[in-house]
Amino acid sequence: MSVEEFTRPEYYINRELSWLEFDQRVLDEAKDEQNPLLERAKFLGITLSNLDEFFMVRVAGLKDDIRDATRKRPEMVDPAGMTSSEQFKAISLRTHKLMDDVYMIYNNMLIPQLEQAGFIITDLSRCSEEDREFLKRRFEDEIYPVLTPMAVDPSRPFPLILNKSLNLALFVRDPEGEKHFATVQAPSVLPRLVQLPGSSFILLEDVLTLFMEKLFPGCQVEAAAAYRITRSGDFSFQEEDAEDLLREMEQSLKQRRRGEAVRLEMNKDAEHKLCTYLLKALELEKQDLYLVDGPVDISFVSRAGRLMPLDYLKKDDLIPQVPQDLIGEQDLYEAIRRKDILLSHPYESFQPVVNFIEKAAEDPNVLAIKQTLYRVSGNSPIVQALAKAADNGKQVTVLVEVKARFDEENNIHWAKKLEKAGCHVIYGLVGLKTHCKLTIVVRRDEDRIRRYIHMSTGNYNDVTARLYTDLGFFTCRETIGADASALFNALTGYGDPPDMRSLTAAPIGLRRRFIALISRETEHARAGRKARIIAKMNSLLDPEIIAYLYEASSAGVEIDLIVRGICALKPGIPGVSENIHVRSIVGWLLEHSRIYYFYNDSHEEYYLASADWMSRNLDRRVELLFPIEDEKLRKRLWDMLRIYLSDTQKARVMDKDGGYAKADGRGKPVIGSQEYFYSEALSHAVEAEEEPHRIFRPMESNMPASDETDDVEYKQQDDDDDE
Amino acid sequence: MNKDIVTAAVDLGSGSIRLKIVQQTEQGEISVLENVVRTVAVGRDTFSTGRISMEMADEICRVLLGFKKLMNEYKVRRRRIVATSALREAENADAVLELIRVRTGLTVDVLPRTEERYLTRQGALSAIPGFRKMTRDGLMYTRIGSGTTQIAAYDKSGLCFSQTTQLGTLRIHQMLASIEKETLRFQEILSEYITETIQPVLRHGKQQEYERYLISGAVCEAIYRIEENKSRKESYAEFDFSRFEEMYERIINKSAVQIEKEYDLNTETAELILPSVMLIHTFGRLVGAKTLVFSFGGLLDGVLWELSAAKKNEKQRERSYEDLLAYTKVLADRFQCDRRHDDTVNDYAMELFDRLRKPRGYTDRHRILLQMAVLLHETGKFLNLTNYADNSAMLVQAFEFSGISWEERHMIATMIRLFENIELTPKDPAYEEFDRNERLVISGLSMIMRLADGLDYSRKQKFGHVGIQVSKNCLILTAETEQNAMLEQWRLSGFANQVQEILGLELELHIKGGM
């Protein structure tokens, strides 16, 4: 078969449905009794926040297409042959099922177990007089002053309800006997869970319901129910026409809070007329309504650990260890000069990356620092170091990607700060997101000027570096330095896109390169030689890459894919993909690294990348693929891949219909890859401690760096998953 | 670490603006720190309207400012920004250059054609370590451009031939475009055309078979990529000619579009591949090449080579002077000059020059020009014995020398005229173009030529060693021979007034001869 024949719709899984299966896998962690209780609650919270984003971006996009299609052009059809309407229908069915599962876990597993641990969420029926008195005081003193009830009548149209806010919908009858709809937003400044005397909690909406008549003096409340809407979170702007990109972004962000509604959540016992009213007012259809068997938005359960001392119900914090490649090293730059260095986060500390910049900022021999920033943490030490470097007279060039979705405000803030400090700040390329993670430090060593390079599969974010698995790489190889420099010159507009020798960048050749690498294995297989591909990534969606993988499989190439999230490829189809095996690993850490291995007739090649096999990565972003040539590091990568493929605890194997089942561990050693890598990092560190005077200690305490770790919405979803 | 060894060069070319920053390590290695190309069609305006538009000038400034930032990052101390035909031929070049200077702080040198060729060739040669070794067995060199092709030949004594032909890839491409439509035998026809154009050139240049054939030019990278299926990593590459012929056979019947797609080249490059390989193939066969050497060095490398202060490069600079003189001798031989007389005069002239150089402020460059004038001053006799000096001067200005400017050639020609006692005054058109200092140098050097020639006026090399002393106000020439030296004595004593006037010295002769 030719490659074109592998593009038939029946060989592809719809992206959105695949994503929902991924969210199901996240939810399955909330079910898994082997996980500590609070971790399971966290996974439930993650499932829900994932779904919020899914609706804000993906479902909103489909609805836009459906709406526009009736007026302008036919609906789009995805590679699996589904129109937007068909997708929307299938999504609705699947999501309703998912939500049922969410609430089953909440009601039957989490809440009873939390109650056993002393964390009790009560309701009005179980409140004592003392509780009610307490609540009355709380309501009058703290809650009522910040409420703004809004009635709807001909002179007061339906108000703008904020995205993801908690609200109370009411029907009230005024003294004249007229019935009105009214709504009250529960302000986000107020805690969702109100603590009662005696340490149990009650939901804020229950408190509002208890005292709702105070909100409408003289009126009678006939019905009340909590509700929540999700709005479209996408926006676009004409960056080419924007004279000032920053200002344009800031204005567009304001629009985000007010996009069209795409989903309505209410309790299943809410009065039917209230539901109907809201659907009409929000211009939603019946399938947009999600009636849940419990409180609306139960993500609060993931924060239980902050409200009560329940540490014993949490997993022990991961303490990033000294990277094995840096054990015994006194000077980071000297170490890089001697050998390439691989860092495996979060098992190994991110601190050396921070040190890399901090030291460069102070080093009088450093001439220049150049870095791409995609998503940075709130109080990033890296950003501070860059500002300091500029203060110290270094030439600092920073490429801040302001279009990192949902991080735009944060990035705008840091862009301004860096500019004020004297850095040359660039906002990427028009029409392309700069997604590669690259740092260049140009340093005048004793004998020559060298470029010290850091590249990574993950962002320069010291907070997510504790939660995501990623691989970072230090080198000062000349060929890589020359390519990195040439690429940076192109990104900053100094030069044309370069012809590179070692690195490959999207969108100027990465797609072609991947296809060439896959095709080369196909040729090996056709010639009767052993051929193998192992690829680990976050998402596999690109139809062309998938077609080439099918071609490779049909030629006899053994292909193992470790795809955490969305996978549009169908494994196991006879004559098409019977040599392709797909597994997904979802665990307490977010799998985020991208590793690509090609056997190449025993001349094995290993690559790391900032890119997944998605069209947006290959065509619409600046991405980097870099080779690992050091033998020791290649052996390490091989061991990692072997462990990923041996995981029997957290791996789910995909079937040809897009369903997932736990990996068959019968007769095999019990291996959880994340636990394995962590214990490996620990044992290296312990061995180092046993050897005196060879300890490189990262500048970290044994506690989490800050409360910020708990505040981070640890999402079991790629933070880049924004299309 | 010596900060001066980070150097940078910028080339404002017709199609792009390029920056190269290099460092020279303590071990003498040169490594490239930055190699940046920005496509800016500077030549588009010049070649179509004769002027550079203000929009283009703005774009040039923008690019140069970015390059300046990069150079500042590396704390470059020595740099040179050069421009070639796009600015050379623009009517408003001066205004554009001034705009660049004001906006960017950078001064751009517009290279004369000869210097451009010289530096380009030096760039190509400096990219090849061990280039000198290669020349010992004979090496043919071509630089393939779009409008012209430079041809040079080297043997064990250095450069023995240099010529530019109006045979560039663009011309061949145009021919190919029209012939292709008429016949399938276009390969043969073009090969014949190329051979016919090159043969007369090679008649002089081809002294032997040249097993090594060195090529430079923009298409080398593309040809390398076609051959090796990857981008080049080194500054040069060698292939067996037989391997090149296989590649030639593979692609000769493909169209430019096919080549573009198959080898992932841009349209412009793909269109020039066929003419280039045809040229190389024909030429390679004509000279009997067994090995092709592609040099990826170019003008920027030549500029950097010149800027570099390393001993290694000073040696190379000396060698380039040696090449120039070797080629001058080849020309002198071609025009049947009296080599023994010229060599003797040259020796005397060099002695005189070295004695007079310090008080008169002469440079190494003047030394070369003097030698060239001595070796070529009688070439005009080949055409006509009377008024041969004018002919010699004309020939000097017609010869193609890579490495000296038009002004310098004009100096040599004027020296030759003066040597023949043609009285030139500052009002003479030939002299008008020189400033006062240059006129002083010309008259001084031609006086040295006369004195040196006078010492072998009979062309019998009567004297062996000639003692030359310069005291406070005196130039003392001491020579002894067993032969009759009255002719030389008469000749030299006739210069006494001129030596007084031009060199400010009293001429004292101590010439002893036999009967």
The model's pLDDT over A15-33, given as tens digits with 9 standing for 90+, comes to 999 999 999 999 999 999 9
Q: Tell how far CA A654 is from the center of its chain.
A: 21
Task: Report whether A312 contacts A62 (CB < 8 A).
Answer: no
Which chain B residue shows the shortest CA-CA distance from A446?
A: B1
Q: Which residues of A touch B (CB under 8 A)?
A: 367-368, 395, 424, 442, 444, 446-449, 478-479, 482, 485-486, 489, 492-496, 498-501, 512
Kindly report, residue by residue over A39-95, the tens digit of the pLDDT.
Answer: 999 999 999 999 999 999 999 999 989 988 876 688 999 999 999 999 999 999 999
Terminal-to-terminal C-alpha distance of chain A: 32
Q: Give A-chain residues touching B23 at CB under 8 angstroms.
A: 448-449
Distance in angstroms (rounded) separating the CA atoms of residues A261 and A264: 8
Across the interface, whether the CB atoms of B23 and A448 are under 8 A apart is answered: yes
Closest CA to B35 of A617, A484, A523: A484
Q: What is the DSSP string of A540-598?
A: B--HHHHHHHHHHHHHT-EEEEEESS-B-B-TT-TTTTTTEEEEEE--SSEE---EEEE
Residues of A assigned a catalytic role:
435
Upper half-sphere CA count for residue A618 (Cβ side, 13 Å): 18
pLDDT, residue A71, reads 65
Residues A438 and A543 in one domain: no
* H-type alpha helices, A74-220: 84-105, 111-116, 129-138, 204-210, 212-215
| Shared-domain flag, residues A276 and A347 | no
A348-375 mean pLDDT: 93
In a domain, A456, yes or no: yes
CB neighbour list of residue A181: distance below 8 Å, 6 or more residues apart: A151, A152, A158, A169, A170, A171, A277, A281
Residue A52 belongs to some domain of the structure: yes
Token reading at A670: 């019990």
Q: Which of A387-401, A423-437, A548-562, B167-181 has the lowest mean pLDDT?
A: B167-181
Q: b or e along A659-697 (b: 16 or more beta carbons within 10 Å of the residue's beta carbon)?
A: ebeebeeeeeeebbbbbbbbebbeebbeebeeeeeeebe
Residue to test with chain B: of A369, A370, A448, A629, most B Cβ within 10 A: A448
Give the bridge partners for B34, in sequence order.
B21
* Cα–Cα distance, A158 to B430 (Å, whole number): 95
Same domain, A522 and A472: no
**Model confidence at A482: pLDDT above 90:** yes
Domain count for chain A? 3
DSSP state, residue B96: H
User: What are the chain A neighbours of B60 within 8 Å (beta carbons)?
Assistant: none
Q: Would you say B44 and A471 are in contact if contact means Cβ atoms under 8 Å apart?
A: no
Q: In what order do the strands lie in the sheet with B6-12?
A: B30-39, B16-24, B6-12, B78-83, B108-110
Structure tokens at A496: 């044309």
Query: Residue A239 and residue A404: Cα distance in Å, rounded?
Result: 14
CATH number of the domain within which A397 lies: 3.30.870.10
Residue at which a domain ends, from A499, A524, A546? A499
Same-domain check for residues A140 and A196: yes
B63 at A interface, C-beta within 8 A: yes
Q: Taking residues A563-580, what's their average pLDDT?
A: 96
Quote the domain boundaries for residue A635: 506-690
A395 with B72: Cβ contact below 8 A: yes
In terms of domains, do A107 and A163 share one? yes
The DSSP letter of residue A7 is: G
Q: Is residue A458 in some structural domain?
A: yes
What is the secondary structure of B421-453 as a DSSP string?
T----TTSHHHHTS-HHHHHHHHHHHHHHHHHH
Q: How far apart are CA A459 and CA A472, in angstroms?
A: 10
Residue B421: which region, alpha, beta or left (left: phi > 0; alpha: psi -120 to 50)?
Answer: left
Q: Which helix (H) or strand (E) holds B174?
A: helix B169-182
Query: What's the CA gap between A400 and A377, in Å, rounded?
Result: 13
| Residues B74, A367: C-beta atoms closer than 8 Å | yes
DSSP states along B287-340: HT-SEEEEE---HHHHHHHHH---HHHHHHHHHHHHHHHHHHHHHHHHTT--HH
- Claim to verify: residue A235 and residue A270 sit in the same structural domain: yes
A516-559, pLDDT tens digit by residue? 999 999 999 999 999 999 999 999 999 999 999 999 999 999 99
Q: Which of A464, A484, A499 is the last residue of a domain?
A: A499
Non-local CB neighbours of A173 within 8 Å, separated by 6+ positions: A179, A180, A219, A220, A222
Asked if residue A646 belongs to a domain, the reply is: yes
ipTM summary value:
0.79
Q: Is B32 on the interface with A (CB under 8 A)?
A: yes
Residue A625 above 90 pLDDT? yes
CA distance A676 to A657: 30
pLDDT in tens, A659-671: 999 988 888 889 9
Kindly state the DSSP code that residue A309 receives in the 8-state scheme: T
In this prediction, residue A241 has a pLDDT band, given cuts at 50, 70 and 90, of very low
Angstrom distance (rounded) from CA A603 to CA B192: 47
Residue count (chain A): 723
Q: For residue B493, what is the enclosing H or E element?
A: helix B486-493
- Domain co-membership, A308 together with A421: no
Regarding whether A538 and A494 lie in a shared domain, the answer is: no
| Both tokens assigned to B466 | 């000639």
Tokens of B301: 């490398």
pLDDT tens-digit series, residues B452-475? 999 999 999 989 889 999 987 899
Find the distance separating the first CA and the last CA of chain B, reported in whole Å. 67
CA distance A141 to B412: 103
3-state SS record for B26-67: CCCCEEEEEEEEEECCHHHHHHHHCCCCHHHHHHHHHHHHHH
- Give the other-Cβ count within 10 Å of B50's Cβ: 11
How far apart are alpha carbons A611 and A577 in whole angstroms? 23
Taking CA–CA distances from B230, the nearest residue in chain A reads: A501
CA distance linking residue A638 with residue A118, whole number of Å? 46
In a domain, A35, yes or no: yes
Instruction: Establish whether the linkage from the previous residue to A627 is cis, with ω within 30° of 0.
Output: no
- Give CA–CA dist A121/A126, Å, rounded: 10
Average pLDDT for chain A: 89
**CA B146 – CA B120 distance, rounded (Å):** 14
Secondary structure, 3-state, A159-170: CCCCCCCEEEEE
Q: Which residues on chain B are in Cβ contact (under 8 Å) with A448?
A: 1, 23, 25-26, 31
Same domain, A300 and A391: no
What does each C-alpha distance from A471 to A438, A457, A696, B113 come to in angstroms?
Answer: 13, 6, 20, 53
Q: What is the C-alpha to C-alpha distance for residues B70 and B72, in angstroms, rounded to an integer?
A: 5
* Least confident interval from A227-241, A451-465, B133-147: A227-241
Which SS3 state, helix, strand or coil, does residue A72 take? Answer: coil
CA-nearest of B274, B282, B275, B278 to B196 is B282
- Does a structural domain hold residue A711? no
Domain boundary residue among A450, A469, A499? A499
Q: How far is CA B399 from the centre of its chain?
A: 11
Query: What's the CA gap between A514 and A630, in Å, rounded?
Result: 21
> Does the pLDDT at position A604 exceed 50?
yes
Same domain, A533 and A479: no
Cβ neighbours of B66 in A, within 8 Å: 492-494
Give the DSSP H or E segment for A652.
strand A651-654
User: What was the pLDDT predicted at A714?
Assistant: 46
Low-confidence ranges of chain B (pLDDT < 50): 1
Task: Look at residue B181 in the predicted model and tell me its pLDDT.
Answer: 67
Q: What percent of chain A has pLDDT over 90?
A: 70
Ordered domains of chain B (ranges, CATH): 3-111 (3.30.420.40), 128-296 (3.30.420.150), 335-512 (1.10.3210.10)
**What's the CATH number where A267 sits?**
3.30.1840.10
Question: Which two tokens mark B424?
Answer: 């030139």
CB count, 10 Å around CB of A607? Answer: 21
Q: Identify whether residues A530 and A671 lie together within a single domain.
A: yes
A259 and A360 co-located in one domain: no
